[in-house]
Chains A and B, each alone.
Chain A
C-alpha cells in the first residue's frame, strides 16, 4: 500500500523553463513533507520541506506547494538548470509512539533538464 505516490517516473524539461514534480499521499496523519534530490552513486540530499499547516514554502529556485484537501504537493523548480537533473523523492513524516517519527518515501521521479 503506497502511502506516498509519485506517479510519473520521469520528466524532461528545457533549460530555463519550469519543472513541476508532483506527489500525492493517502495518510491524513502525515504532518510534514520533504523533498530529497539524489544523484547517481550518491546518497539523497535534503532539498526543501513544508509543514502540513502551510501551503507554500520557497527557497531560492525551489518552491513546494501543499494542497491538503487534495492530499497533493508539488515541487516547482524555476528556472531549471542542467545540474538539476537527478532523481527527486517526495517524503512524508508521521509521528510514532514514544515521540519518534518516520519518513515514508515515494518511488522517485527522474528529472532531465535539456540544455
Chain B
C-alpha cells in the first residue's frame, strides 16, 4: 500500500463546469499517473508526471490538464466538463524507473457529468 488518497471519491457536476481531482501520496514516489476506466476500454492513460513540474500527455489527454507543484500532489483538471468525461478516475504512483515497474493505484474517483 503506497499511501495514495484521491479526493473527492465521488462527484456529480454539470456540463461546462470546471472540475479538479486531487491525488495525494505519502511515499515520495517520483512518478504519478492519471487514468480513466470506462466499460469496454480498460484503463487509459490521461497524463503523467515524472517529477515536480514535469508532466506529459497520455493517450486520452484532450480536455484535461494536470499540475504537480510538489512531489506528493498531482492534480487533474477538467476545464469545462463534458458528459464524455463521466468515468472512474484512478491515480497511480511509481517509485522510479526500474526493472520492476509496479505502479500503485489509488481507490478511484467516480465522476458523473450531467
Contacts and interface: CB of A to CB of B under 8 A. Distances in A.
B99 A103 contact: no
A109 B40 CA distance: 10
A51 B102 CA distance: 12
- Majority-rule SS of A interface residues: strand
Interface stretch (B12-20, B71-79, B105-113): B105-113
A93 B31 CA distance: 14
A107 B41 contact: yes
B90 A49 contact: no
A70 interface: no
Interface residues on A, range: 20 to 34
Interface in A22-72: 32, 34, 36, 41-46, 49, 51
Contacts of A93: 101
A103 B45 contact: yes
Contacts of B58: 102
Given A102-B58, A103-B45, A44 B101 contact: no
Interface string B82-97: 0000000010100001
Interface of B: 4, 31, 35, 40-45, 48, 50, 56, 58, 90, 92, 97, 99-108
Given A44-B90, A46-B103, 4 more contacts: A34-B101, A36-B105, A43-B90, A100-B31
Interface of A: 6, 32, 34, 36, 41-46, 49, 51, 89, 91, 93, 96, 98-108
